Chains A and B, each alone.
Chain A
Amino acid sequence: MPRIDLPQGTLDLLILRTLALEPQHGWAISERIQQISSDVLRVQQGSLYPALHRLERRGWIKARWGTSENNRRAKYYELTKTGRRQLEVEKDAWDKLTAAVAQVLGTA
């Protein structure tokens, strides 16, 4: 199955959604996105980190240093309260968008 690149602007949503389950470090976030999307979505790994810091600056996620599964120092990100609210907002917006796009495609 060919992978598709993430459409512009959806990466933030996916990161927030991934972190809604549990705090994760960067690599795990990209792995999780790929796994859940059954390897269809490919996260451009380079763009993951700037996105993480953008979200951190906005106060939607926060970072702390922790220990990884294999006992290494890793930076973990978790959702803040505002981040959780933002996730709802973005999810709503996404749902509306996809529904609308689907409708247009369906009737066309």
Chain B
Amino acid sequence: MFKDLWFRLRALFRRKSVETELDEELRFHLERQAEKYVRAGLDREEARHRARLEFGGYEQVKEEYRDARGVSLIETLARDVRYGFRALRSNPGFSTVAILTLALGIGANTAIFSVIDSVLLRPLPYADPDRLVMVWESLPGRNPHNTVSPPDFLDWGSRNSVFSGMAALFDQRANLTGNGQPQEVVLQDVTANFFSILGVNPILGTGFTAENGQPGHDDVLVLSCGFWKERYGGDSSIIGKTITLNGHPLMVVGVAPEGFDWFIKDSSLTGAKPQMWTPWIIPQAFHDRKNVGRFMTVAARLKPGATVQQARVQMNTIAAQIAQEYPDFNGHWGANVVPVREQISGDLRPALWILLGAVGFVLLIACANVSSLLLARAAARERELAIRTAIGASRWRIAFQLLTESVLLAVMGGSVGVALAIWGTNVLLAANPRNLLDLRSVSVDLPLLAFAVGSTLLAGLIFGFLPSFISAHASVAETLKEGGRGSSAGKGRGTARSAFVVLQMCLALVLLAGSGLLIRSFIRLVGVDPGFAASHLLTFKVTLPRLKYGTDAKCQAFFQELLPRLSHLPGVRSVTMNSYPPFTGLGAATGVRLLSQPPRSLKDLPDAEVRVVGPNYFSTMEVPLRAGRTFSEDELSQARHVAIINQAFADKYMSGTNPLGQKAVIFMKSLEESGNPSSEIIGVVGDVRQMGLDTPGEPTVYWPYPELVYSGMTILVRTSNDPLALVPAVRNELQQMDPEQPMAAVATMDQLLGESLERSRFTMLLLAIFAAMALLLASVGIYGVIAYGVTQRTQEFGIRIALGARRSDVLRLVLGQGTRLALLGIGLGIIFALALSKFLGTLLYGITPTDPLTFGAVALLLTLVALVACFVPAHRATRVDPIEALRYE
């Protein structure tokens, strides 16, 4: 085996010496044979001649010998590659177009694949990440990913047998003081086993120990790598030092690895990635369901051998038990187990697969183009190929030669494509909306290269196969006789190229329809009225540390002073605040009972969002008042038990009655009705979209700030000019009141609104780019085929014109041919697109996947583009000079 390989290699790399050795050996043989005949009495010349004759064909022997040597395949390949290069160089126009076309196709595929690879395929930075799952509480039909209450978490932990451990956490904003500017940071309170369950070890320090889960030992902190570098310059002496957070001293015991930031969008209360972690011990009071709601995120690790499916079944059983034991708090509630990977990529998954499908189509169109080009070129080379066949090349050899050329083209296109892909991915990254793609960097790694090489070779084989096959089966005699026109291979090529045009038109239509639907949907989405005026609105969050502002009165006093201070700044039109303003993520929600309706237990009560707002909220936000009045000055400074509801609330829960003057119990302060004073409804306002433009406003209750004092509020400043220009002045006011108080999450409402659209914008933009590429490539394709047809039929057109055909007849003839192909492709494309567009379903807003207007528009667009592409060569056909054309032969 090895010997065999050795011989092949030696033969390959030391070809020259092997050849001379063979020559020498054969010469020696001939001479000895000749000597023999001389001794037998022949003269020298005669003897040599006879020896030669007996030996047989000298070169033939050498050829046979080479075959026996076993290198011919590799040698042939090397020869074909050299020949292929020469052929490509001799036709630079063709080669450039083909290589660029392929580079576009392969580049787009590789770029999208790199995103898919890093979002969906690459291992997450946790130990054995496939065994990590999220466990949620779920309300069937409403929210499959609801945050978890501490007592449920504790019961799950003690009753399950599928997890080797469960960790709970929640995030909050905290004020970091001392050592420079006060700063608001995002802190995750985690159970002490959090890092060990994820299997993440700190790069510095020890991290949390089991002891940190004991009361009195929990005043420790782990920093994220990013924050450690940013705030502390990556100084490793930070370990063991103390940091003041919300007035509490905490000792730094670790720095998390680079890139580790546990962030689950669905359950984040801050909407931002954590910068530090501190152990959290579930307080005794939270063991009682009466005292606490659902606010935690739960991650768990599956025991060895346990599957996600088993975990789902068991958690459902446990949730059902708990629901029976505590019907008031857990009735209707189930549990849901989601693999971490699915959780993180959930939002983007459908969009990414659709995009990969789209770039796959683009590559197919590119392949069809190159295939078509190759066919045209093969026709021009027909004589060359026929001659080679005539002097003994086998069909297989010819096909192999042509295929080698195709793969060579593909490889060059692929190389340019990979360069394009790297550039393209960086552009994607630069344009990457926050929190949409968790891409830190896209590196050229093994899977990426494997994908690029794979798609390149596949492309080369796809577009190279048909042309080689047809050429290899050309009839030699016919070709040589007819000079390449009208031969069987010529007809085969014509049919193949027409088929390619149909295919390209079909695929281009599918892409155009897809992007058309997304564009229409996006326009609808952007046109949606959010229910308030978003422009010229500055938002930022102020979270007062409870240690310093321990009482409601202190918090209230702070905001009562801050808002008027801000409203006096030049350029400020009005100022207000909201506990959970629109487009900043999840808000609080609870059960509401109207006193006019019979009492029911909390779990059966209708839900409403609860917003606590400051003075002038509705006028500042420009939310229209539909009935009644807004809060009075008195109600905004003392709790008078009043509330304003939105239209959705009135329509859903109070239709047919006048809501004004009715009283409602809003279960915000306690889970018992007795702990919640009822509020009188004094007004009805318009609906505001909270989570995104595609989600209609939920039933909502507004309370004036004194009804429920939050220590963290988002301040909303309506400005006359650029809101961000006011930031320094606003910060100055804030720090005059409290130099240790940071200003967090600064953004304009326009930015927040834009971010909520990013996913749709991103998908739409990419699909539109791919559709444009498809359109371009397909129009080049149809142009090429028609132009080639015109060149071939020059003589025929000449005769027609000479016989009296009008130029418009010729034009119609050529256009007709192109239009027939285009329309056939478009027709097939519509059928295909109708079948595929349902996969866009979840990405569409406000239109159906079969929207006739979109389909009509893209079909028309494609037809027009095809017509223009055909018109150019058709016009050339009408310019044919009959005398020239007849002389052409």
Binding site for B on A (CB under 8 A): 25-28, 30-31, 44-47, 49-51, 53-54, 56-59, 68, 70, 72-75
Contacts and interface: CB of A to CB of B under 8 A. Distances in A.
Contacts of B499: none
A49 B28 contact: no
Nearest to B5: A57
Given A53-B68, A57-B68, A75 B28 contact: yes
B86 interface: no
B3 interface: yes
Given A45-B54, A59-B3, A75-B21, A53 B65 contact: yes
Interface stretch (B55-63, B246-254, B296-304): B55-63
Contacts of A26: 25, 28-29
A70 B60 CA distance: 28
B4 interface: yes
Contacts of B31: 72
B56 A49 contact: no
Nearest to B8: A57
22 contacts: A27-B28, A30-B29, A44-B56, A45-B33, A45-B54, A46-B56, A46-B57, A49-B25, A49-B26, A49-B64, A49-B65, A50-B64, A50-B68, A51-B68, A54-B68, A57-B69, A57-B70, A59-B4, A72-B28, A74-B25, A75-B24, A75-B28
The 9 A-B pairs at the shortest CB distance, nearest first, are namely A46-B56, A50-B68, A27-B32, A46-B61, A50-B64, A27-B29, A59-B3, A54-B68, A75-B25
Nearest to A80: B3
Nearest to A65: B21
A53 B64 CA distance: 10
Max chain B Cβ within 10 angstroms of own Cβ: one of A30, A49, A51, A59: A49
A46 B64 contact: yes
Nearest to A59: B3
B33 A27 contact: yes
B56 A45 contact: yes
Max chain A Cβ within 10 angstroms of own Cβ: one of B24, B33, B68, B70: B68
B67 interface: yes
Contacts of B70: 57
Contacts of B61: 46-47, 49-50
A26 B28 CA distance: 9
A73 B24 contact: yes
Contacts of A30: 29
Contacts of B286: none
Contacts of A74: 25, 28
B832 interface: no
A68 B68 CA distance: 26
Given A28-B32, A46-B61, A59-B3, 17 more contacts: A27-B28, A27-B29, A45-B54, A46-B55, A46-B56, A46-B60, A46-B64, A49-B26, A49-B29, A51-B68, A56-B7, A57-B3, A57-B68, A58-B3, A73-B24, A73-B28, A75-B24
A26 B32 CA distance: 10
Contacts of B65: 49-50, 53
Q: Size class of B's contact patch?
A: 20 to 34
A74 B29 CA distance: 9
A105 to B, nearest CB: 32
Contacts of A28: 32
A45 B7 contact: no
B4 A57 contact: yes
Contacts of A45: 29, 33, 54-56
Contacts of B55: 45-46
A58 B25 CA distance: 20
A43 to B, nearest CB: 10
A15 to B, nearest CB: 13
Max chain A Cβ within 10 angstroms of own Cβ: one of B29, B31, B54, B70: B29
B7 A57 contact: yes
B7 to A, nearest CB: 5
B555 to A, nearest CB: 90
Contacts of B22: 49
A53 B21 CA distance: 12
B60 A53 contact: no
Contacts of B69: 53, 57
Contact of B67 (A46, A50, A58, A70): A50
Nearest to B32: A27
A58 B559 CA distance: 93
B887 to A, nearest CB: 55
Contacts of A75: 21, 24-25, 28
A30 B36 CA distance: 13
A74 B26 CA distance: 10
A20 B129 CA distance: 66
A54 B530 CA distance: 83
A98 B36 CA distance: 34
A86 to B, nearest CB: 14
B245 to A, nearest CB: 76
Interface in B1-28: 3-4, 7, 21-22, 24-26, 28
Contacts of A51: 68
B54 to A, nearest CB: 6
A30 B26 CA distance: 13
A54 B8 CA distance: 12
Contacts of A54: 68
A23 to B, nearest CB: 14
Contacts of B64: 46-47, 49-50
A57 B63 CA distance: 16
Nearest to A29: B29
B28 A25 contact: yes
Nearest to A56: B7
Interface in B605-642: none
Contacts of B57: 46
Contacts of A50: 61, 64-65, 67-68
Nearest to A54: B68
Contacts of A31: 36
A51 B67 CA distance: 11
Max chain B Cβ within 10 angstroms of own Cβ: one of A27, A31, A74: A27
A75 B32 CA distance: 13
Nearest to B55: A45
A19 to B, nearest CB: 16
Nearest to B6: A57
Contacts of A70: 35
A75 B28 CA distance: 9
Interface string B398-420: 00000000000000000000000
A92 B791 CA distance: 70
Nearest to B2: A59
Nearest to A82: B3
A30 B51 CA distance: 13
A82 B70 CA distance: 21
A58 B2 CA distance: 10
Contacts of A46: 55-57, 60-61, 64
A57 B65 CA distance: 12
Nearest to A42: B54
Contacts of B68: 50-51, 53-54, 57
Contacts of B60: 46
A30 B28 CA distance: 13
Interface string B59-89: 0110011011110000000000000000000
Nearest to A69: B32
A57 to B, nearest CB: 5
Nearest to B29: A27
Contacts of A58: 3-4
A75 B65 CA distance: 15
B252 to A, nearest CB: 69
A33 to B, nearest CB: 14
Contacts of A56: 7
Interface string B442-463: 0000000000000000000000
Contacts of A59: 3-4
A46 B309 CA distance: 72
Contacts of A68: 28, 32
Contacts of B4: 57-59
Nearest to B33: A27
